[in-house]
A and B are shown apart, each in its own frame.
Chain A
């Protein structure tokens, strides 16, 4: 199958404030993992994070927001990325066609809620931030900034959220329900998630090492990315440049545990299997797999086993996790990795899986650890979240 056209991308992450900056960081091994600066937390000296090195004041200025705005950090980075994507797709009149926005977030405006929680009753000037907590607030803000009036919704399935927003967007285009849709996700760092993952004891105090035998856990990150998907009619009518296509997608549930993945990666296996069915391409046709690869002992083992089940007797293609660059950006992860997948197709590269030295003892699976140039036609990208939520996307050269 041909797949749904991607005509624009926008991104802000710890490794860059634009698509170009992110790409350069990926091919020049410039990682974005560091000590935390923008949030005051007691864990500052023990955790490393993928932080966007802009303060909220910087972001307000960049977006030219009024002083009385009530944007959360998540909404600001989301708006920046969505605006880039719309500009990149050369869209001048946002409501010209049936245009939708599907966003994704895990904790939305939690950064404001946790900052002001006990002050709301004392400081009337802060009351405006109460509505930021709503999961849909980020999408509302982005829609308003873009002037988009039509279908707007938000998906929250933890760390697979943005994969699901891309999946829904592709389905809405395929079924002709929309002509154009902006899909992606945003999540800012918050004490809430830092402490949540800390109590689960899956945060590494070191740089994360996906698919390494000595991996200790993940580094959290923050990011936002959006992609513009358009129908073939609009692409033809406006003679649009197609960056790549969403050719396959699948979502399945592991139905095993609220936060842990099953030993054999049932959910992951089923998600990949569905994505192959939708795309009509064979596993052997995949040139690069951008794995979920969070570097937690549980994820990499489960995902690795699922990959081996999909590939059976065949060789697993070159794969890498880009989370050593960006950290795990939760609900935004699949969106930034979608941008990286498209860039891999455009530039014919496999990104290195950094920090991985010792192969895992449970199986014979080694990630690609250095930058590799080769022809890339199809990329598979995995994203898995709490609640057993497993999603796979396949991107193909147009």
Chain B
């Protein structure tokens, strides 16, 4: 069975994560409850005419996938697999508003055409003339991991040798307002917003696009090997550790083999115990990392964590800004990522050097 290697990465996020070494320019924003991406120079990747018609999620997907391919030094891929929670929400909002505001009249198709969830994957395929396998997963916090599972299976079964896989989400203005209303986003003007010490529900929201080139061979520029990915819809707080142990066991590993644990802490006090229990008990002797204070919370924020873990394995350095505890290891060989949202959609992702 072929192994899966991460050979190229591209990340557009609420931090400057392009044209940088790693996270040296990262800053924590304590003042806002919705974070916007740091935009790249789109015109280097997309013609201005095409760019005007595209929503930011599509543009960010195109740029981050181009960055990943350049990083991997590949000209084309066999398949494109995308994960997105809310898809092209800006265009969905735009089309829905014009339906409601104009009583279903005087509509133009552009925003409808681009509102489809698979627009990002489709546009990348169109630009690269990639006629291969093209899937888009839309299942909340496991959208990106679903794409990873699929990609890994494609490589294992030798259905594809190189795959572009990514997670992308964009903030839509109206949807953001709705998320403040239903409490998914923390209340306005209730900062400073902290992730680890928060006592309130909801999260600080973000957006971003991270793409990766996964291939079936190790190269000089390989970041890491993707060992395994698993998603579980429902777990109680007290079932997580058992789930992790059995996941590790199926990979012939134990908790003590994990050199760093990346957790999805997002400041939602109602569900932080899913992470806290692990960090304070079974993984107390393991370097524990977090990232949503940098990326914000969104359905595919875990793709940012995947980017971060890939970089740690390649550089063998953990930036201070992402450390939850002070535990260190002489070197970092195996990293486990765990994420969930509101006690649902749990994912376990295992990377090794």
Contact = CB atoms under 8 A, between A and B. Distances in A.
Interface stretch (A7-15, A77-85, A155-163, A342-350): A155-163
Interface string A103-116: 00110101001100
A191 B104 contact: yes
Contact of A155 (B135, B142, B153): B135
Interface in B97-115: 97, 99-100, 103-105, 107-109, 112-115
B95 A196 contact: yes
A134 B112 contact: no
A373 interface: no
A117 to B, nearest CB: 6
B331 interface: no
Interface residues of A, number: 66
Interface string A87-110: 000000000000001000110101
Interface stretch (A18-26, A360-368, A385-393): A385-393
Contacts of A192: 92, 95-96, 99, 112
B147 to A, nearest CB: 9
A158 B116 CA distance: 7
A297 interface: no
B134 A43 contact: no
B112 A199 contact: yes
B119 interface: yes
A387 B116 contact: yes
A187 interface: no
Nearest to A267: B131
Contacts of A200: 109, 112-113
B282 interface: no
Contacts of A150: 232-233
Nearest to A191: B99
A275 B265 CA distance: 43
B87 interface: yes
Given A200-B112, A258-B123, A386-B122, A106 B117 contact: yes
A38 interface: no
Contact of B181 (A110, A114, A127): A127
B320 to A, nearest CB: 35
B122 A154 contact: no
Contacts of B179: 130
A253 interface: yes
A13 to B, nearest CB: 22
A98 to B, nearest CB: 11
A378 B131 CA distance: 26
19 contacts: A114-B99, A117-B97, A120-B181, A127-B182, A135-B87, A136-B85, A140-B344, A155-B136, A155-B138, A156-B136, A157-B118, A157-B136, A199-B107, A253-B134, A254-B131, A266-B131, A387-B125, A388-B122, A388-B126
A378 to B, nearest CB: 22
Interface string B59-83: 0000000000000000000001000
Given A151-B231, A152-B233, A168-B150, A136 B139 contact: yes
B137 interface: yes
Interface in B118-170: 118-119, 121-123, 125-126, 128-140, 142-143, 146, 149-150, 153, 156-157
A37 interface: no
Contacts of A256: 126
Interface in A127-153: 127-128, 130-131, 133-136, 139-140, 143, 148-153
Nearest to A258: B113
Contacts of A257: 126
B157 A175 contact: yes
A118 B174 CA distance: 10
B132 A253 contact: yes
A255 B233 CA distance: 33
Contact of B104 (A43, A118, A148): A43
Residue among A118, A177, A199 with most chain B CB within 10 A: A199
Contact of A252 (B115, B131, B175): B131
Nearest to B145: A153
Interface string A226-257: 00000000000000000000000001111111
A164 B135 contact: yes
B301 interface: no
B130 A255 contact: yes
Contact of B100 (A105, A114, A121): A114
Contacts of A140: 140, 233, 344
Contact of B125 (A108, A255, A259): A255
B80 to A, nearest CB: 8
Contact of A113 (B96, B109, B123): B96
A42 B113 contact: no
A139 B136 CA distance: 15
B251 interface: no
Nearest to B80: A253
Contacts of B299: 134
B234 interface: yes
Contacts of B134: 157, 251-253, 387-389
By Cβ-Cβ distance, the 7 closest A-B pairs, closest first, are: A387-B122, A135-B138, A136-B139, A196-B112, A156-B117, A152-B233, A199-B109
A171 interface: yes
Contacts of B27: none
Contacts of A253: 80, 122, 125, 130-134
Contacts of A43: 104
Q: Which of B104, B137, B139 has the most CB of A within 10 A?
A: B139
A55 interface: no
B138 A154 contact: yes
Contacts of B230: 151
A135 B109 contact: no
Contact of B126 (A41, A143, A258): A258
B313 interface: no
A175 B182 CA distance: 41
Contacts of A284: none
A270 interface: yes
B86 interface: yes
Task: Choose among A127, A143, A255 the residue with the greatest number of B CB atoms under 10 Å from its CB.
Answer: A255
A195 interface: yes
A135 B112 contact: no
Nearest to A387: B122
A200 to B, nearest CB: 5
